[in-house]
């Protein structure tokens, strides 16, 4: 892929990454509320959470973030390709 196309994709990738982080955070809060019956998600610095609860929450959050990021990255790349004719990866 030409360098110009890669540079043109950077703002798209940055914006989609930020949107993905926000979406993943919202999904995680809803999932955690259903799983734990608590409104607040565990904070590593809060002494009220044990290791097990903290690590389970972190694993769930990481999984959700990775899935959302993959979906948004792929959708952004497909949209960029449709718009420009160039695939932004590789």
Q: Using CA atoms, how far apart are residues 65 and 83, in angstroms rounded to an integer?
A: 26
The pTM of the full predicted model, rounded to 2 decimals, is 0.80
Residue 82, number of CB atoms within 10 A of its CB: 8
Task: Write down the pLDDT at residue 3.
Answer: 72
List, for residues 58-70, the tens digit of each pLDDT value. 999 999 999 999 9
């Amino acid at each position: 892929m030409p360098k110009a196309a890669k540079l043109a994709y950077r703002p798209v990738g940055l914006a989609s990454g930020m949107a993905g982080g926000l979406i993943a955070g919202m999904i995680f809060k809803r999932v955690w509320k259903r799983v734990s019956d608590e409104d607040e998600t565990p904070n590593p610095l809060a002494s009220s959470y044990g290791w097990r609860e903290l690590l389970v929450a972190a694993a769930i959050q990481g999984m959700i973030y990775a899935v959302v990021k993959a979906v948004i990255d792929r959708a952004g790349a497909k949209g960029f390709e449709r718009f420009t004719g160039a695939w932004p990866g590789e």
